[in-house]
Amino acid sequence: MDELLVDFLTETAENIGVVDNEIVRWERNPTDRAMLDNIFRLVHTIKGTCGFLNLPRLEALAHAGETVLGRVRDGKLTVSAHVVSEVLASLDGIKAILRVLESTGKEPEGDDAGLIARLERVAAGEAAPGVPAVAAAPEAEAARAPQSIRVSVDLLEQLMTTVSELVLTRNQLLQIARRAGEGDAYAVALQRLSQCVSEIQDGVMRTRMQPVSNAWAALPRMVRNLSLELGKKIELEMHGGETELDRQLLELIKDPLAHMVRNACDHGLEDPRSRAAAGKREVGRLRLNAHQEGGHIVIELSDDGRGLNLDRLKAKAIDAGLLRERDAAELTNAQAAKLMFHAGLSTAEQVTAVSGRGVGMDVVKSNIEKIGGTVEVDSTPGRGTRFTMRVPLTLAIIPALIVAAGGERFAVPQIAVRELVGAGSEGENRIETLHDAQVLRLRDRLLPVVSLARLLGLPESDSEESYVVVAQAGSFSFGLVVDDVHDTEEIVVKPVAPLLSGVPVYSGNAILGDGRVIMILDVNGIAALGTDAGDRDARVEAEEEVVEDTAAERDAMLVFRAGSPHPKAVPLSLVSRLEEIAVETIEWSEDRPVVQYRGEVMPIVTVDEGASLKPSGRQPMLVFNDGARAIALAVDAVIDIVEDVVDISLSGEVGGRLGSAVIGGRVTEVLDIGHYLNAGLRPVVRTTASAGRATVLIVDDSAFFRNMLRPLLSAAGYDVTTAASAEEALRLREAGRRYDLILSDIEMPGQSGVDLAKAVKSGGEWAATPMIALSSLVSDDAQARGRDAGFDDYVPKFDRVSLLSLLERQLSKVAA
């Protein structure tokens, strides 16, 4: 059934129930004008929506009832029992139509001419004596809307609290089971209980999710008022409003988002005369876009205004004593732009009622960071400014890495963890001292590090060996040195105690499975507190080295053993979960192993055909999911997570392999996860680029598809760059990057592939670059849209054989 029709049935069922009761109350008190207005409005809403959805029979009947109520409201018809009965009869007729509509999706055959004629006579003030009104429908047959119900928020919060306690109890039982050993008689039942808890947890979490558009519903009105107040012409575009976010977080981002919009309208966008003088449209544009990336929601607010005056911003920072002139000269544009988040700094020429006092952007940053998010700014003078907010999907239950320092345990949210490495004073990954600050030399790359024990004033370990958690705080990476790493665990987040609310290194606390209370570390707070004092030079040098290294993109790879002692790897971003499943829970269907997982039957595959699972105990598995299907890949053991440049130099000769590459200093087989998700596809045809290593740009909002396609094309002989959006691809064009061919998904949030193709073909250095459209929807209409926009060819998204063949054919045309 169409989604709009489902929503209509739900809303109309609610309205009918209200009108039924209101009419009865109104009959007792016919002078209550407010009650009559409410009844009229609800019936009018039903009629108007029927017209929009092309439901003529329902619309005609609702219109007749509305006419009677309108005559009463205008004082031209006296309220009587007969008038009320006929209006109720019209409602009963509406209910009868709704019942059929709900079950079939269509209005029933026939008409309501007799009932409508009676209503018209009532509206004209004529009696209809002797003709009884339609009997009220039995309560059991009333119009129903089982698709959704409304539940009190307090009840949902109570349910969430109960589920949180259930998760804690589950964790405690798992701890007991681990200590008891693999032969425990309760292992199978406990495994099933754990799965059921996960399913309940996921379901309850979804009840808390709301579309992010709820947070910006008031923005169009705000922008309209600001445009009038500031004398500017401003249009607001909003995309991705259907993206869902936890209700609690939704409330917390409303104010920061509103302030950023006010700031963009006042400071960012110019008045019409200034825009015309700069060769721009008189109407300034604000663009709001939301999309999901892993466990984060990314909200981008961009304008096409004047951009930040970085020189003025640095001068203000020097005047405020926040920066020395020598240091200001060394700042990159990105670092200078971040100065706007300091309290008291503003580049406004004058203070207005809207903004300009230097108060607000620092509050925006601190409020976003309090909920575990980040906010970044990117500005080009004369072209505009882009703010990017990243906030977690939820704050209630999160996966965390449990670490130890100074004899105490702490939780690090996994969403902020890039990788985990062993480090010491010697060896490949070693900690060194640079400009009186410690840095980690990680794969010939310098990374600022912070000792957790030293930062918290705890006793430091005497051991020369330690662990470094490579963490991400916004666009800044750093290493957190800890003494030991215990386990990963899903923890229930509790608010930090008021006594510690001013300590920036903690974001909350949690109870572990063994009953101990631990603190949850705030990665953003640690980055600000631990890396700002005394090691700026080291950080700048490390960041410069990172920038120099971006020409060779690194991929985070999960390395494991399966079937043979030789290491194997897959892109970490493709792995949905790491699971250990009791062998006793594995069942067989159609001669292959399966497991009941989160309410579905999930097939289990092995790396090589004929390889066996463990005979007993617990079977480690990697779970992969492309949105519609999930599989579990049985492995022997997970070795490490390694971030490296994956250059597949040997093409795979065995099914399921993309080839071999040097990862973490060892020759490693890179698996083709698409082979296992699409077992029925033909073997991938390997090819080579026509002339040398051709360069290909992949533009796709799906991280899964980018990470699956990149190693495939690399193994086929192409140099591959990826972009997550059309906007990101166009920024590469502005930076002067050139490619031999562009692959783009045709359907993407924000600017679509069609928009990208039009922009590319409109002129500039990329105008002659061949473009191939990718889509999972291959129809004549879709192909026509792609070709009209400027795409040179079209290929189904998961048809890898056709894709490789088409790439070679297009590049051959260019070479000719």
* CB contact burial 356-368 (16+ within 10 A = b; e otherwise): bebebbeebbebb
- Say yes or no to pLDDT of 715 above 70: no
Instruction: For residue 683, tell me if it sits in a domain.
Output: no
pLDDT digits (tens, 9 = 90+) for 358-390: 346 777 877 787 776 778 888 888 888 999 888
User: Residue 295 has what pLDDT?
Assistant: 61
Average pLDDT, whole number, for the chain? Answer: 76
Q: Is the pTM of this model over 0.75?
A: no
User: Is residue 402 domain-resident?
Assistant: yes
148 falls within a domain: no
Angstrom distance (rounded) from CA 633 to CA 604? 6
Q: Of 368, 392, 416, which one is at a domain's C-terminal end? A: 392
Q: Which of 522, 412, 520, 510 is nearest to 468 (CA)?
A: 412
Same domain, 383 and 476: no
Q: Is the pLDDT of residue 336 over 90?
A: no
* pLDDT single digits (tens) 614-626: 888 888 888 876 5
Mean pLDDT along residues 422-429: 68
Residue 621 lies inside a defined structural domain of this protein: yes
Residue 779: pLDDT over 60: no
For 75, left (φ over 0), alpha (ψ -120 to 50), or beta? left
The residue-averaged pLDDT of 578-604 equals: 83
Nearest to 416 by CA among 471, 476, 465: 471
Q: Are residues 292 and 247 in the same domain?
A: yes
Specify whether 329 is located in the same domain as 471: no
Angle CA 161–163–169, to nearest 5: 110
Residue 123 lies in a domain: yes
CATH code of residue 565: 2.40.50.180
Which tens digits make up the pLDDT trace of 532-554? 433 444 444 444 443 333 334 56
Residue 742 has pLDDT above 90, yes or no: yes
**pLDDT of residue 417 exceeding 60:** yes
Q: How far apart are CA 331 and CA 342, in angstroms?
A: 15
Residue 139 has pLDDT above 80, yes or no: no
Asked if residue 538 and residue 416 are part of one domain, the reply reads yes
Same domain, 171 and 37: no
Output the furthest CA–CA distance in the chain (Å, rounded).
102
Supply φ then ψ for residue 358, to 5 degrees: 75, 15
350: domain CATH number is: 3.30.565.10
Q: Is residue 529 part of a domain?
A: yes
Number of domains in the chain: 6
Q: Which one of 501, 519, 545 terminates a domain? A: 545
> Do 130 and 249 share a structural domain?
no
Q: Are residue 366 and residue 513 in the same domain, yes or no?
A: no
Both 600 and 720 in a single domain? no
Q: Is residue 429 part of a domain?
A: yes
Inform me whether the pLDDT recorded for 199 exceeds 50. Answer: yes
Q: Does 610 reside within a domain?
A: yes
> Does 431 lie in the same domain as 336?
no
Reduced to 3 states, what is the DSSP secondary structure of residue 638?
A: strand
Boundary of a domain, candidates 518, 545, 572: 545
- 8 Å CB contact between 378 and 388: yes
pLDDT at 699: 92
Q: What is the pLDDT of residue 741?
A: 92
- Both 424 and 486 in a single domain? yes
Residue 318, CA distances (Å) to 79, 173, 315, 323 in order: 76, 57, 5, 5
Range of the domain at 422: 397-545
Do 702 and 672 have their domain in common? no
CATH code for position 809: 3.40.50.2300
In this structure, what token pair is assigned to residue 140?
Answer: 């059991």
**201 & 221 share domain:** no
Question: Is 90 exceeded by the pLDDT of residue 697?
Answer: yes
